[in-house]
Amino acid sequence: MDKEKTIELKKILKTRLNRPMRYYIDTCTRCGLCYDTCHAFNGIPKKEYSPVGRAEVVRKLYKKYTRPGGFLFPYWSDATKLSDTVMDQVYEAAWSCTGCRRCVVNCPFGIDTGQMMGVAKQLLIANGTAPEELVMLADAAVEKGKSIDQFKDGYRNVIRDLEKEVQKKLNLPAPDGLIPMEKKDANILYVGLAGAHSIVNPAIIFNAAKENWTLSFFEAVNFGFFAGDPEKAQFIAQRIIKEATALNVKEVVIVECGTAFRILRALMGKLPFKVSSIVEVIHRYLYEGRIRVKEGAVSDAVTYHDPCQLGRNGGVYDEPREVIRKIVTDYREMSPTREQNWCCGGGGGLVALDNEEFRIKTGKPKKEQIVATGAKIVVTACENCVSQLKTIQSGYGLNVEVKYLTELVCENLVV
């Protein structure tokens, strides 16, 4: 590694040394309680895939460059210099972590390995060894944010086609205005994804609930965050915040995407509008009587997979369960569940990478959980989780169907 690169990487280490990072670097006692709390370690039992093993890769760099002890006596704390070999270790650590934060709830000090892996990912970008797919997707999202006017007409045409699907489902006479866009003072700005399902199903629900809503021009997914680029992550999130502020909406509702939800709800500081997940909104409509579902319509055994960013990191546990219980007669809880639920292995941008074999192996604890429930349908509320659960399903030959929560609701909506 050349001198200039080392200087650049050291600068990143120092700029990212914020208050939480200082705690995380100095507090870990390497007690090992987190060791097997990671799904990746359970699938592939290597030290490098344990939370402490990952965190130590970054911690040792910090010790070397920001701690006098690490500088003077590197042997004692195993402080390591930046090198190509170390950057390979950084890659292995960062890109095996989904940021599910299961290790955080199992650490006696609450050390957030996900945050440390955020630093690792930024180091990889600067080193030029970050996964290209994600960097390109982040760049595309940034470009769209800069020149949104060029995209608007094309997007409106796509949405007109989707309105027909909404019309068909709701048996309405005309499709016009079923997916409103750029509507000022709406109650809700809904932020979907690129896939039609992420717009059609929520649109059916919003129309059934007679909601005053509007659709965002942007996708909720934040590839800047996945890639580990804080500037791009900020820009991508700000596109939605600016749009919501300009439209003067009361609430921004995020598609079934755990990370997008957490970024806007928890990581962007105080916002002038409420941020909700579509799951919470469906629950609200059901309990306010604004929509109705065919109660007990599904007799197959159903289980729910808590997306980590929605459950453990977002606190949305009860709403999806209550919605599902209204529709199904045989609901089965996974074990362990809620904050101890196993990550599926697809989060943190991993599902967008060419790493299927790795994801199948690290999806082992999730596979075992699903099999143990005996469920025929696995419901979840996150795009990444659905993709990964389908990979697990095909990888292990499971006889289960994977569904979005919105899909289950729409299939059983009383119209």
**What region, left, alpha or beta, does residue 185 occupy, with left being phi > 0 and alpha being psi -120 to 50 degrees?**
left
Closest CA to 210 of 180, 173, 181, 182: 180
From residue 334 to residue 363, the character string flagging contacts with other proteins as x (rule: CB under 8 A) and all else as - is: ----xx------------------------
What is the DSSP code string of 129-172? -S-HHHHHHHHHHHHHHHTHHHHHHHHHHHHHHHHHHHHHHHT-
Contact between 396 and other proteins by CB under 8 A: the answer reads no
Taking the C-alpha atoms of residue 304 and residue 377, their distance in angstroms, rounded to an integer, is 9
**Of 56 and 243, CB closest to other proteins:** 56
Query: Can you tell me which of 17, 148, 172, 353 binds other proteins, judged by CB under 8 A?
Result: 17
| Beta carbon of residue 34, minimum distance to other proteins (angstroms, whole number) | 9
Residue 238 CB, shortest distance to other proteins, in Å, is 13
Query: What is the CA 398 to chain-centroid distance, rounded?
Result: 24
140-to-42, 131, 135, 236, 355 alpha-carbon distances in Å: 35, 15, 9, 10, 22
User: What is the contact mask toward other proteins in residues 267 to 306, using x (rule: CB under 8 A)?
Assistant: xxx-------------------------------------
Q: Which is nearer to other proteins, 112 or 251 (CB)?
A: 112
Residue 235 in contact with other proteins, rule: CB under 8 A:
no
Q: Are 225 and 263 in contact (CB under 8 A)?
A: yes
Selected binder of other proteins within 89, 96, 98, 115 (CB under 8 A):
115
The two three-digit tokens of residue 82, written as one number = 């930046």
When binding is defined by CB under 8 A, the residue of 42, 122, 127, 313 that contacts other proteins is 313
Q: Is 77 in the site for other proteins (CB under 8 A)?
A: yes
How many chain residues bind other proteins (CB under 8 A)?
51
Closest to 266 in 3D by CA, of 284, 256, 254, 279? 254
Binds other proteins by CB under 8 A, chosen from 107, 120, 134, 298: 107
Which residue in 7, 266, 372, 415 binds other proteins (CB under 8 A)?
A: 266
